Structure 1
């Protein structure tokens, strides 16, 4: 009978074949590559060109982010030799950080998960465990392969640094270390009262974001201290001083360490992408020109209802001016426009026409400013 084992009447099984099959079943499965759509960008420049269609301005941020997206696309195709390129978007609120990350996930055709850093805490403290992000990712994905390559957008990341306050509280520092564990990769197992989940987080792309108020002061102090900047992308002191009005674009890893981000964590975030304040001209373009602009969305919505919607150019310029004055950025544009549209919808005549004019804005300008 040799290597055959009798398993029943007239039934024999090869022992070596059975052992090989058993090893196949018990081996850890290799994550399958997720093939991006054929129309997906193939180079960093193509990623930037696609982002240009939806995101107005922010050239420096889009350039840095595009390289990170290209690297993640290589990992999607199974090239795990490419190191992760986690991103930090930093700059004023209302200037497109969340939207930029959403567009990035759409280009990669992977799930997008947005979480608020302030809702998490170190294990043992009151608050959500960082590892619970695994639940969010799995719920957002259609397949496990998609989940293993999702984009995780961590908003309000600057709130974990306690910059400008007293001694850093333990839970803030501990939460940073919890995120560090996620960036280090590996299989994470997490459970709560309702479910248990497991996910290899090595392939996730983390995009951290925060306003980082006061970062310009940190940068200025470094530039004027006479100390040589340390870190990739740093500039000679003399050259850096020539661009003081754009201090935010000159941030290096050391500045975020001074701000209160743990060295180990910022060391694993290889892409620093500055988000600059939006001027009124940029806000006009966001309102009227960008793919999926607010005006275009309302135009398409009202056309289905047989309602003619018009936003006069002068009114668009006034809306941008108000959003700029109140520092509400792109976020404020939708609020102003919805307020005007709601008023006209309530009083809409049988003509079924909505027209936003500059006179309407000027008439309610003082009330609007107070509201903003």
Structure 2
């Protein structure tokens, strides 16, 4: 994975398939460096905003960051471009999220809730050859699908089963049969085992039930309870290789799933997972992980190196500060 590979011609593009979190990343959808409008403060946003940046977000909700703080936006955009450039140099095919039309920016309630296309983990998931548009609970995630609809539709020519979960409509949330919510940051693909995080604010057990129905008996879908202070499972868990996890056990009230009990776990303090997105790194394959170069994440990088991973470090301060690091930024289309 560390040697650049030529991009395949369109006719030779690989079949869509994601085997696991640690299978070699060969193609993904990545967040856009070009647009960031701070989502309006609703219950879903409050899970993400924190510290000094949370104060900035509260004061500037609904504003384009290019206008609210041009220097911050320039750093932010440059760090996303740097991640895309790295992946492309390593031979990963990267498809970048596009724009959302003015009308679709008001979906589903006819009002602006912000543009979060720099983070594209949540609106869909790839499991095996299933490309599934999800039904996020968070309103600003619900419109993200419109930035990648063309990309997802083209997967049908490459063997994907492309379909969508029933949409959640215009309400903040509903509970009961038929009101399942899933966000990609909660979904982990571990071969035939699928984990779905449940913090109470994003994905829910009804969403996991729907996912089990959609995937059928070849897969086993399990929910994992996480501390409500975190939106998604990938804020408190990373699985860079079968048998190894980076996890904030403090944030997992019922612990890791039973099949992971004998795994080698790098423990991350809850405060570090929250403030620095310490578990939300980019697994390139079962030997290579990208970790932000900020000093606070040195212990995670060192723990991975002790386990014989190659660790690549690049700046990603601003996306992490806003609540989403490398895993939040991408969703794979090919991991085999």
Verify same fold: TM over 0.5.
no
Q: TM-score range by the shorter chain?
A: under 0.3
- Which of structures 1 and 2 has the larger relative contact order (alpha carbons within 8 angstroms, sep 6+)? 2
* TM-score (norm. length: structure 1): 0.23
Larger helix fraction of residues = 1
Larger radius of gyration: 1
